[in-house]
Homo-oligomer: A and B are copies of this chain.
Amino acid sequence: MQRKSFNEMQCPIARSLERVGEWWSILILRDAFYGMTRFDEFQQSLGIAPNVLSRRLADLVGRGLFERRRYSTKPLRHEYVLTAQGRDFWPVLLALMAWGNRHFAPEGLSMFLADEGTGRAAEPVLVDQHTGEPIARERHAIHAGPAANERMRARIGFRSTRNAARPTSIPPVSPSPEFVS
């Protein structure tokens, strides 16, 4: 089944997902950050069918996340090297890792980020570069940018217009503070 294209969507999250293309692509990007660049290396790490890997790599090159480079002439061989766009995907992988480590690692950590300077485990958290404050939903919120279309503005303004429009027969059992405007 073909996934619907998010191309026409304006949201940068949807566009990022569109650009990554597919779940396998995220794991290929992950392995590139481990230093893998060659077809056989990706295949051995991922254990996927060669034709699937070929398609995903060609796709990632076409989308500008990898550059294809020749590393041997006899036999002719190419490797796949992250572009600047691809390298900028690292924080997404770290955010996925942190979420997985927090919730889906019942047997303990299988991987973690470490500070090579101090030799200690690092705890990646998002902060605002301007203020140094941790990004928190109590303090930070999404706003519409200058290029936002109507659909985007409606989505971003949803919370502020919701309560007037919502008929509620009974209150929620235990309202979450995030959902009380």
In the docked arrangement, what's the CA distance between A112 and B15, Å?
A: 14
Using A37-B179, A41-B158, A74-B169 as known contacts, list a sample of 12 further A-B pairs with CB atoms less than 8 Å apart, ordered by residue number in A.
A4-B48, A11-B27, A12-B96, A13-B100, A31-B158, A35-B181, A41-B162, A71-B169, A92-B99, A111-B144, A114-B143, A115-B128
Q: Is A164 interfacial (CB 8 A cutoff)?
A: no
- Give A101's nearest chain B residue, CB to CB: B12
A129 engages B139 (CB within 8 Å): no
Q: Is A62 interfacial (CB 8 A cutoff)?
A: no
Q: Which A-B residue pairs are the 8 nearest by beta carbons?
A: A12-B100, A109-B145, A35-B159, A108-B147, A123-B129, A16-B100, A122-B128, A72-B169
A residues 124-173 touching B (CB-CB < 8 Å): 124-133, 135, 137, 139-149, 151-152, 154-156, 158-159, 162, 168-173
- Give A34's nearest chain B residue, CB to CB: B158
List B contacts of A115 (CB < 8 A): 128, 130-131, 133, 139-140
Give the B-binding residues of A (Cβ under 8 A). Answer: 1, 3-4, 6, 10-17, 19, 23, 26-27, 30-31, 33-37, 41, 45, 48, 69-74, 77, 79, 81-82, 85, 87-105, 107-118, 120-133, 135, 137, 139-149, 151-152, 154-156, 158-159, 162, 168-173, 176, 178-179, 181
| Shortest CB distance A13–B (Å) | 5
In the docked arrangement, what's the CA distance between A149 and B152, Å?
A: 44
A140 engages B168 (CB within 8 Å): no
A149 engages B70 (CB within 8 Å): no
Q: A31-B155, A108-B145, A145-B109 are in contact. Are A16 and B96 (CB under 8 A)?
A: yes
